[in-house]
Amino acid sequence: MEEVSNCPLCGNNHFEKLYSKSFSCPCYVRRWILFKHMFKKHDSSVDFFYMICKNCVFILLSPRLNEKDMEIKYGLIIKLGSMKARIAANPPENLDKRAALIYNLIAKNQKNKLANYKILDFGGASGYNLKLFAKNNEC
């Protein structure tokens, strides 16, 4: 995992923290991979932050996976078998709540209509986090 020190778009190093979330040791496969194989921890928590670049208003998450972490994560997912089968057997909870939280977080920090902005949900599964953006912004 790597802390973001410079904006990947404009290179600026001045951010404002918008929201933080602490995740604790695993209750499902994704967190199990995160804690056991990336953090090498079993009984602690990790804080993640949504931050906005004060120069270009790009919103990002920190810390984020680096290339090695991505190799570990997706290698283990492949090794464990079909992601679709695991999700069907144990569907994620609160997807609408999570999508609304992300939409509202970004919407309240944008001075202009969100349709003027480009949203990238990298690794966004089925795209559920983008549904409110599409519905409310003529996407």
HSE toward the beta carbon, residue 50, CA cutoff 13 A: 14
3-state secondary structure 5-39: CCCCCCCCCCEEEEEEEEEECCCCHHHHHHHHHHH
Are 36 and 87 in a shared domain? yes
**Would you state the torsion angle of the CA atoms of residues 112, 118, 120, 124, taken in this order, to the nearest 10 degrees?**
80
Are 81 and 16 in a shared domain? yes
Are 101 and 59 in a shared domain? no
pTM for this one?
0.63
Residues 54-95 pLDDT 10s: 898 888 889 888 888 878 877 877 777 766 676 677 666 777
Are 83 and 115 in a shared domain? no
Query: In terms of C-beta density within 10 A (0-12 exposed, 13-18 middle, 19 or more buried), how is residue 90 classed?
Result: exposed
User: What is d(CA 6, CA 1) in angstroms, rounded to the nearest whole number?
Assistant: 15
Are 4 and 20 in a shared domain? yes
- Look at the chain and report how many structural domains it folds into: 2
- Domain boundary (67, 91, 115) is at 91
Confidence band (pLDDT; 50, 70, 90) for 25? low
Are 87 and 111 in a shared domain? no
Q: What is the DSSP letter of 114?
A: G
Please check whether residue 130 is in contact with residue 124, taking contact to mean a CB–CB distance below 8 angstroms.
yes
Q: What average pLDDT does this structure show over 111-120?
A: 58
Are 42 and 26 in a shared domain? yes
Are 83 and 29 in a shared domain? yes
- Domain limits at 27? 1-91
Distances (CA, A) of 1 to 45, 63, 70, 108, 118: 14, 6, 9, 28, 25
Are 97 and 137 in a shared domain? yes
pLDDT value, residue 97 = 84
pLDDT at 119 over 70: no
Please check whether residue 50 is in contact with residue 98, taking contact to mean a CB–CB distance below 8 angstroms.
no
Query: In terms of C-beta density within 10 A (0-12 exposed, 13-18 middle, 19 or more buried), how is residue 112 classed?
Result: exposed
Are 87 and 98 in a shared domain? no
- Domain boundary (91, 115, 131) is at 91
Are 96 and 86 in a shared domain? no
Are 77 and 97 in a shared domain? no
